[in-house]
Amino acid sequence: MTKKLVVRFALIASLAMTVLAPGVQAEPVKSQDTAARLGYVQRLLTESSAAKKIEQSGNAQAVAMKADAQAHFDKATSLYDAGDADAAEAELAEAIQLLTAAAREANGETPVSQKQTDDYGNRRESVEALATAHDRIATEKGQDDMNRELQARVSTELAASDALLAEGKGEEARAMLDETYETIKLSLEQLRGGDTLVRELHFENKQDEYLYELDRNDTHKMLVQVLFAEKMESSPMRATAESFISKATTLREDAESAAGEEQYEEAIELLEESTKELIRAIRSAGVYIPG
C-alpha cells in the first residue's frame, strides 16, 4: 500500500471515529492490521450511532450512500480473503469515506469541499513528515522526554483538527494544522540550537566524529526534503535553494571519498561545509535555524 494511501486511510478513519462512532474504541490506525480494520469498519456500519441515525433519518440519499459503503466493505472482505490486503485497505477507505458523507447528509450538514479536504490532507502529511524528522533529531540529541511531550501534543492537535474538518469547519481545521506545523518547526529550531554544546563533546577518534557529522548532515537533508515539498514548490527562491543543495551534495560526496581513504579530518571539514549549505537552503525557504 502506498504511503499516501496509508495517510489518507488514517485521516478518514480518524474522522470516522470522531463523527461516526464516539462510543467505539479502537487503536490508532497505524497499529492495526487489515483484519482488525475489517472488524472496526464492520462495527461502524452496523453498531455505531451514526449508522443507526442514517437508517432512521428517512434520507434516501444518505441511506443509499450507506449501502454503497456496505458494498465496498463486502468487497474488502472478499479481497482480504483472497490474500490482497492492499486492495482491501483501499476498499475500506472508500467505505469509511462514504459512511462519513452519509452521516453528514443525514444530519443536514454542509460538506467540506474536495479542495479543502485535499489541501488539508496534503498539509497533514507535511506535519507528519516534520514530526518524523523531529523524532529522529531528538533521538540524536538525547532529548527523549522533550520529544515524547512534543509528539503527544502533535497527536492531540491532529485529532482536534481532524474533528474540526469532520464538523465541516475546513478553515478552522487548516488553521489548527498550520499552528501544529509551526510548533514542530520551532521545536526543531530549538533542538538544533544545541549543536554547539554537542560539538564540545570529546570523541574517541576522528572516525567517530565523522560518523556524527554524517548523521547530522543526514538530518539536515531530511529537513530540506520536507521544506522543499511544503514551501518551495513554486517559490521564487527555489533556484537559489537548489544551488545550495547541489553544492552540499558535492561536498558530501567529497567527504565520503575522503573517509574511504581514512582521511577523516578532511572528511569532517567537508561534511561541516556540506551541512552549512543545507542550512542555507533551509533558510532560503523562510525557516531560520542556527548553524
Question: Which pLDDT tens digit goes with each residue over 115-168?
Answer: 777 788 878 887 887 788 788 888 877 888 888 888 888 888 887 787 777 666
Q: What is the pLDDT of residue 109?
A: 58
- Is 289 within a domain? no
For the segment 181-208, the average pLDDT, to the nearest whole number, is: 66
Q: Considering 46, 80, 107, which residue would you say is the last residue of a domain?
A: 107
Does residue 128 belong to any structural domain of this protein? yes
Q: Are residues 80 and 134 in the same domain?
A: no
188 with 204, same domain: the answer is no
Q: Are residues 268 and 175 in the same domain?
A: no
The residue with greater pLDDT, 26 or 280, is 280
Which string of b and e fits 275-291 if b means at least 16 CB within 10 Å? bbbbbbbbbbbebebeb
Degrees, nearest 5: CA angle 129-134-137: 125
* pLDDT value at residue 203: 65
Question: Three cell numbers at 38?
Answer: 475489517
Rounded mean pLDDT of the chain? 76
pLDDT in tens, 59-110: 888 889 889 989 999 998 999 888 888 888 888 888 887 887 787 777 765 5
Do 89 and 16 share a structural domain? yes
The residue range of the domain holding 246 is 199-284
121 and 168 both lie in a single domain: yes
**pLDDT band with cut points at 50, 70 and 90 for residue 31:** very low
Structural domain count of the chain: 3
Domain edge (last residue) among 176, 192, 208? 192
> What pTM did the predictor assign?
0.41
In a domain, 291, yes or no: no
* Per-residue cell: 93: 477507505
Q: Which of 55, 73, 107 is the last residue of a domain?
A: 107
Domain assignment of residue 290, yes or no:
no
- Give yes or no: residues 71 and 89 share one domain: yes
d(CA 132, CA 121): 17
* pLDDT at residue 251, rounded to an integer: 95
pLDDT at 196 exceeding the cut of 50: no
In whole angstroms, give the CA distance from residue 77 to residue 58: 28
Confidence bin at 199 (pLDDT 50/70/90):
very low
Statement to judge: residues 28 and 88 lie in one domain: yes
Asked if residue 225 is part of any domain, the answer here is: yes
More confident residue, 250 or 5: 250
| 226 and 182, same domain (yes or no) | no
226 shares a domain with 155:
no
Same domain (yes/no): 248, 231: yes
88 shares its domain with 129: no
Tell me, what's the pLDDT at 112?
66
Q: Which of 1, 16, 14, 26 is nearest to 76 (CA)?
A: 1
Q: Taking a C-beta distance cutoff of 8 angstroms, is the pair 180, 127 a contact?
A: yes
Question: How far apart are alpha carbons 196 and 35 in whole angstroms?
Answer: 49
**pLDDT band at 234; cut points 50, 70, 90:** low
Regarding predicted confidence, which is higher, 224 or 274? 274
Secondary structure of residue 266 in the 3-state scheme:
helix
Residue 280 lies in a domain: yes
Residue with the larger pLDDT of the pair 172 and 228: 172
Dig out the grid coordinates for 252 from the structure.
558530501
CB 17 within 8 A of CB 28: no
Residue 250 lies in a domain: yes
Q: Quick one: DSSP state of residue 234?
A: S
| Shared domain check, 96 and 12 | yes
Q: Is residue 65 part of a domain?
A: yes
Rounded distance between C-alpha atoms, residue 184 and residue 235, angstroms: 22
User: Is a pLDDT exceeding 60 seen at residue 273?
Assistant: yes
Give me the count of residues in the chain.
Answer: 291
